[in-house]
Amino acid sequence: MIPVTRPHLPEMSRYLGYIERCYQNNQLTNNGPLVQELKARLEDYLGVQNLLPVANGTLALQIAYKVLGISRVAITTPFTFVATSSSLKWGGIEPVYADIDASSLNLSPQKAEMILDPEVTALVPVHVYGNPCNVEAFDRIAKDHGLKVIYDAAHAFGVRLNGKSVLQWGDAATLSFHATKVFHTVEGGAIVFKKREDYERACRLINFGYEEGEVADEGINAKMSEFHAAMGLCMLDEIDSVLQEREEIYKRYYEALKDHFEIPVWKEGATRNYAYFPVLFPSEDALLKTQQRLNDAGIFPRRYFYPSLDALNGYARPDKGNPISRSRADRVLCLPLYSALPLEVQDKIIEITVSSQKLYARTPSEFSMMSLTGG
Ligand SMILES: Cc1ncc(COP(=O)(O)O)c(C=O)c1O
């Protein structure tokens, strides 16, 4: 079975070396030496400051909202994994959706600005597939309207924009280190804060609100354990080769598919981490038929991100629909991409996908009309 992704497992002897240190230290959690080392190495590797490792990417979002005092309503994207919105709801914040940009598939700043009202306290855009949002526009909107910006950067590990980490944008940016991600700690995540004082408050919040042995704040438990940090340290040791292997696979897909499929347009000046390979089909019917042919061959791509969250019960205001997000979510399929994907399997995926496109596609002129109209 060929899944959409497979976690990278580092050399076991390397992992055991770090685990041995946990045994020697006899400290398993509570900001131990491995978590501290991981924090320092991640800040150095990513080129950021005020990075706080946490237990997962969902808690990373929730802690960021809490630290930044987000309440009432946040404008966010319907084209993402459900955690971006469910984390808001858990914090008592209503997610309100603005539509996405048809070519990048990221939240549209213009559409977000159009639906601002006095209830809105924050913008929560997502760098979908690791593709940076229009951060300059969100920055301007936030300044003009006194809003906080929290970027869900779950997919954007290591991505740089104009030579700097994309995580430097916003009041906070959150990462997921889930096993399916390019860089992982099995389960885990991190928050990068712009301001030192926000980072310091978050350090208390993830540890039940404790400061110097006293409960000083309304906290929760979102700490990363030493065993999870051990996996992160191994992954960092191997990250360059992981990214290189992913890049090769990504580029083979791109060369083979770019003339047959619409592929999301990448932000100018941004690097890639080759986390996903999404393709847009001309219709949901063509997608489903191709998916079936791939499944019949034992290949299981995933419909990331489907459905558009505004189509989920209880997630959108009844009068609000986001037609571009819905149409994109109905037609997007992520092809298998992981460092150990055998080339002959990739060739098979390409062959089935391209031949299906020829069988089920509309004419190229219909295809480009749809791109222009965002249909
Ligand atoms: C966009 C996005 N946000 C948040 C999350 C949640 O991260 P985690 O699974 O680490 O809680 C994910 C997870 O895949 C995600 O894709």
Residue 192 belongs to what H/E stretch?
A: strand 189-193
| Residue with token string 């080759």 | 274
Name the DSSP letter for residue 160: E
| Helical pair 226-257 and 343-360, crossing angle rounded to 10 deg | 50
**How many whole angstroms separate alpha carbon 109 and alpha carbon 66?**
24
Amino acid at 171: D
Distance from Cα 43 to the centre of ligand 1, integer Å? 20
* Atom of ligand 1 minimally distant from the CA of 56: 10
| Helical pair 226-257 and 33-46, crossing angle rounded to 10 deg | 30
**How many whole angstroms separate alpha carbon 51 and alpha carbon 40?**
8
| Residue with token string 């897909």 | 253
Residue 309, sorted as left (phi over 0), alpha (psi -120 to 50) or beta, turns out to be alpha
> Which residues are CB-contacts of 300 (< 8 A; sequence separation ≥ 6)?
1, 2, 3, 4, 294, 336
Tokens encoding 81: 């994994």
pLDDT for position 362: 59
CATH of region 239-373: 3.90.1150.10
Distance from Cα 186 to the centre of ligand 1, integer Å? 13
> Which residues are CB-contacts of 363 (< 8 A; sequence separation ≥ 6)?
none
54 burial (CB, 10 Å; 0-12 / 13-18 / 19+) is: buried
Distance from Cα 364 to the centre of ligand 1, integer Å? 35
Residue 158 belongs to what H/E stretch?
A: none
- For residue 366, give the 3-state DSSP assignment: helix
- For residue 211, give the 3-state DSSP assignment: strand
β 332-335/277-280 pair status = antiparallel
List per-residue pLDDT tens for the chain, 375 residues long: 999 999 999 999 999 999 999 999 999 999 999 999 999 999 999 999 999 999 999 999 999 999 999 999 999 999 999 999 999 999 999 999 999 999 999 999 999 999 999 999 999 999 999 999 999 999 999 999 999 999 999 999 999 999 999 999 999 999 999 999 999 999 999 999 999 999 999 999 999 999 999 999 999 999 999 999 999 999 999 999 999 999 999 999 999 999 999 999 999 999 999 999 999 999 999 999 999 999 999 999 999 999 999 999 888 887 678 999 999 999 999 999 998 999 999 999 999 999 998 888 754 455 444 444 443
- For residue 120, give the 3-state DSSP assignment: strand
**How many whole angstroms separate alpha carbon 362 and alpha carbon 367?**
6
Q: Which CATH class is domain 12-234?
A: alpha beta
* Atom of ligand 1 minimally distant from the CA of 176: 10
**How many whole angstroms separate alpha carbon 293 and alpha carbon 304?**
18
* CA nearest neighbour of 346 among 240, 244, 255, 242: 255
61, 79, 81: residue to mutate for ligand 1 pocket, most atoms within 8 A of CB:
81
* Atom of ligand 1 minimally distant from the CA of 178: 10
352 burial (CB, 10 Å; 0-12 / 13-18 / 19+) is: middle
Residue 182 belongs to what H/E stretch?
A: none
Give yes or no for a contact between 156 and 132, defined as CB atoms under 8 angstroms apart. yes
Tokens encoding 238: 């191997």
Q: For ligand 1, atom 10, which residue shows the shortest CA distance?
A: 57
- First CA to last CA across the chain, in angstroms? 34
- Ligand 1 pocket by Cβ (under 6 Å): 56-58, 80-81, 83-84, 126, 152, 154, 176, 178, 189
**How many whole angstroms separate alpha carbon 266 and alpha carbon 108?**
14
Distances in Å between the Cα of 121 and the Cα atoms of 68, 137, 152, 318, 358 are 10, 17, 16, 21, 47
> Residue ranges per domain, the chain?
12-234, 239-373
Distance from Cα 176 to the centre of ligand 1, integer Å? 5
Residue 302 belongs to what H/E stretch?
A: none
